[in-house]
């Protein structure tokens, strides 16, 4: 006889108290400013505190997964900054088209260790799950997916450089993997760089700007987010 005990299924996603800033919203979509430490949606470990639960309270909707209401792109838990979210299934589909056409401008500020060899550049290298470490992503992979990252020097510092990075694609850990591959690891990155650099408790990566043509109205939407206090303080230490 074999006995199998199945755990109770997780409770459906429930709205949570809204603590995130909402720098832009209308009846069709909203742009939220996610703090570091907040996961976008629940993973295998079933996080209780998620951005998705707050989005539900903000009226987000759309997409095939009720656990990810209106979410068309994501940020790592310890990456802060801007995300655009749909408030209906129709808007979700239109935003997905923007992403597929690479018409959603996503700009990040990244402080890297070292000095770039040029003021601007493009990294075009497929990224996938690492062959030897399932928790990492890398260029050494059996599951490569096209990945393109553009960068431009914002400020050159004694031992670091502040880069403005623009994503053309959005693979998992793409910016962190690509910059590490050209010997410019993101400061404070515990996975692909040096943890604790500049006394950082997370990677110095902030989604600073989102710009796109509104998929319903056609109006220009351009939202910026300043560096949060922990990253601003690290930047001053780097200077």
| CATH at residue 205 | 3.30.2350.10
43's CB contacts (< 8 A; 6+ apart) are none
Q: Is the pLDDT of residue 8 over 60?
A: yes
Looking at residue 9, its pLDDT comes to 74
- Report whether 151 contacts 163 (CB < 8 A): yes
Higher local confidence (pLDDT), 117 or 44:
117
Averaged pLDDT for residues 114-122: 96
Residue with tokens 């760089």: 193
Q: Is the pLDDT of residue 97 over 80?
A: yes
Question: In the chain, where do the E strands start and end?
Answer: 21-25, 29-34, 80-86, 105-113, 120-124, 128-129, 137-138, 148-156, 160-167, 205-213, 220-224
Residue 3, in any domain of the structure = no
Tokens of 237: 């230490």
Q: Is the pLDDT of residue 213 over 90?
A: yes
Averaged pLDDT for residues 111-138: 95
Looking at residue 41, its pLDDT comes to 87
Residue with tokens 């990677």: 203
Task: Give how many domains the chain has, as a whole number.
Answer: 1
Catalytic residues: 76
Residue with tokens 């459906």: 12
How confident is the model over 10-45, as pLDDT tens digits?
778 899 999 999 999 999 999 999 999 999 987 655
- Residue 143: C-alpha distances to residues 129, 133, 140 (Å): 6, 13, 9
Residue 15, in any domain of the structure = no
Residue 27, in any domain of the structure = yes
If phi over 0 gives left and psi between -120 and 50 gives alpha, with beta otherwise, what is residue 198? left
Residue 170, in any domain of the structure = yes
Domain span including residue 154: 21-238
Q: Pick from 29, 41, 53: which is nearest to 223 by CA?
A: 29
Residue 179, in any domain of the structure = yes
Looking at residue 135, its pLDDT comes to 86
Instruction: Kindly indicate the confidence band of residue 48, based on its pLDDT and cuts at 50, 70 and 90.
Output: low
Q: Is the pLDDT of residue 160 over 60?
A: yes
Residue 10, in any domain of the structure = no
């Amino acid at each position: 006889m074999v006995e199998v005990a199945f755990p109770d299924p997780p409770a459906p996603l429930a709205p949570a108290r809204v603590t995130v800033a909402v720098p832009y919203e209308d009846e069709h979509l909203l742009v939220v400013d996610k703090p570091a430490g907040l996961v976008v949606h629940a993973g295998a470990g079933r996080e209780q505190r998620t951005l998705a639960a707050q989005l539900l309270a903000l009226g987000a909707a759309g997409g095939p997964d009720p656990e990810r209401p209106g979410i068309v792109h994501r940020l790592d838990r310890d990456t802060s900054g801007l995300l655009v979210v749909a408030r209906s299934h129709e808007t979700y589909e239109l935003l997905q088209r923007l992403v597929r056409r690479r018409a959603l401008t996503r700009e990040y500020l990244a402080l890297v260790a070292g000095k770039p060899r040029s003021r601007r550049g493009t990294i075009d290298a497929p990224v996938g799950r690492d062959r030897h470490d399932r928790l990492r992503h890398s260029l050494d992979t059996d599951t490569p997916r096209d990945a393109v990252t553009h960068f431009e020097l914002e400020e050159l510092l004694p031992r670091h450089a502040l880069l403005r990075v623009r994503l053309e694609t959005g693979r998992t850990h793409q910016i962190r993997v690509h910059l590490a591959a050209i010997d410019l690891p993101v400061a404070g990155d515990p996975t692909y760089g040096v943890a604790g650099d500049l006394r950082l408790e997370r990677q110095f990566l902030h989604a600073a700007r989102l710009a796109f043509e509104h998929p319903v109205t056609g109006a220009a939407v351009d939202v910026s987010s300043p560096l949060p206090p922990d990253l601003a303080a690290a930047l001053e230490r780097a200077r």
